[in-house]
Amino acid sequence: MSDEPHAGWRMVTELVTGIGVGFALGYGLDRLFGTMPWLIVLLTLLGFAAGVRVMLGTARELQRQSEAADGTQAGRPAGREGRDSGDGS
């Protein structure tokens, strides 16, 4: 859980890195092939998609760590064991 305060920055960094790498590759290839701006646009969008995918993977990883620390199982809400059924028995 000590990594939790930095989780937001980690995910933002992953997203921005994907966009930046896509842009840089697109710019370089556009200059090389003279296709300005098509590869910049295409590879920036692909970089965005890759960044979102990595970011979602990080979110899932953090969710699993949080659930393991809380002692809950995936798909099962915490705190339901001790409640009565409400039927008055």
Q: What is the pLDDT of residues 17-43, one digit of tens each?
A: 999 999 999 999 999 999 999 999 999
SS3 73: coil
Q: Is residue 21 one of the residues assigned to a domain?
A: yes
Spatial distance between the Cα atoms of 4 and 68, rounded to a whole number of angstroms: 14
Q: Is residue 2 one of the residues assigned to a domain?
A: no
Count of domains for the chain: 1
34: left (phi over 0), alpha (psi -120 to 50) or beta: left
Q: What pLDDT is recorded for position 5?
A: 77
Q: What pLDDT is recorded for position 82?
A: 52
Candidates 74, 62, 78; CA nearest to 1 is 62
Q: Is residue 87 one of the residues assigned to a domain?
A: no
Instruction: Tell me the residue range of the domain where 48 lies.
Output: 8-69
86: left (phi over 0), alpha (psi -120 to 50) or beta: left
Q: Is residue 81 one of the residues assigned to a domain?
A: no
Q: Which of residues 67 and 2 earns the better pLDDT score?
A: 67
pTM score, whole prediction: 0.73
Specify the amino acid at residue 25.
L
Per-residue pLDDT band at 85 (split at 50, 70, 90): low
